[in-house]
A and B are shown apart, each in its own frame.
Chain A
Amino acid sequence: MIDEKILVWKFNRKSKDALRRIYEKYKDDLLGLAVTLLRDRSLAEDVVHDVFVSFARTAGRFTLSGSLRGYLSTCVANCARDRNRLKSRLDVGLDAVEDVGTDSDDPIESAAGSEEAQRLQEVLGRLPYEQREIIVLHLHQEMRFREIAEALGISINTAQSRYRYGLEKLRSILNSTVTK
């Protein structure tokens, strides 16, 4: 936590080294989050890129209220949501079928490699985006419901109910795949 504060302090003094260290520290975590949310590696890379460029522009006037990881995760989630909306609109416009998994850069393949991780990515991909977002932010990024609700501009109750419904659906998907 102190390291983080020092990094932010240096970052606010336009230290490129501090920015590099922040990027190095969180890049994989944030890319993983974006990949899980978007299920598209190139889109996820664009999201992380945009988030860090925007973050760099705040140098000199950045104030950190919570954790830096939580802040950056929120930025990634918000940016990913915008990308997802745009992607959905384009998909509807082209009447296209989701082609996740056909790309050689498929996040499922490039993930940890474990069957469990691949399976989770598949199951999460079948959840509505809003539910997937809450589950990932809470369980992967370890954000509290209050933080998530503030970041997404929704009430805590909404965040919790989305999480609950998401987990129920996830459980039912897993059960159905197990029984097949």
Chain B
Amino acid sequence: MKPTDNSENFVRRGKAKVATDPQMDKRVLDDSFAAMDETAAGPSIVRMIAHGRAAKIVAAAVIIIAVGLLMNQPEPPEQKPPNIGNVTKSPVEMLSAMSLNMAYRRGGLEAMDDLSNEAFEKLGSKPAGVSVRELLTGSNGV
């Protein structure tokens, strides 16, 4: 079979067999090893972002989300000062409570009633209502 009869076989058979020389091998391997060493450190985050399209998009998305979160963060609730009035009685009320308490310890409900009557007499504004004893009698049936 002539080569012209089958061009494909002719091309296949005529494949050039070229061999590299040691000088070329050394040059290629030295430079290749050096190139490999350059990449040995591994890609930094900055380099990954700079070279990768997907990384750029992700980085931009993270920045946008972070800024959005900072902008929309709710203000901290204002701390209301404790209402002292709810906690601490006024001096007049405290004194009244203390005096009533002492009167109760001293003589029970009668003493409390007497004390309140005495106070109302001094103030001159005794209500027309009933006394404590009368109230208790009405509610407890005692």
Contact = CB atoms under 8 A, between A and B. Distances in A.
Contacts of B18: 28, 31-32, 35, 41, 44, 107, 110-111
Contact of A116 (B13, B20, B29): B13
Contacts of B20: 27-28, 31, 45, 48
Contacts of B11: 120, 124, 135-136, 139-140, 170
Contacts of A117: 14-17
Interface in B49-66: none
Interface secondary structure of B, over-half rule: helix
A45 B25 CA distance: 10
Given A49-B28, A140-B12, A174-B3, A112 B17 contact: yes
27 contacts: A20-B29, A23-B28, A31-B19, A31-B20, A32-B15, A35-B16, A49-B27, A49-B31, A52-B31, A52-B32, A53-B35, A56-B33, A56-B36, A57-B39, A107-B18, A111-B17, A111-B18, A112-B15, A117-B16, A120-B10, A120-B14, A121-B16, A139-B8, A139-B15, A140-B12, A140-B15, A170-B11
Interface of A: 14, 16, 19-20, 23, 27-28, 31-32, 35-36, 41, 44-45, 48-49, 52-60, 107, 110-112, 114, 116-117, 119-121, 124, 135-136, 139-140, 167, 170-171, 174-175, 178
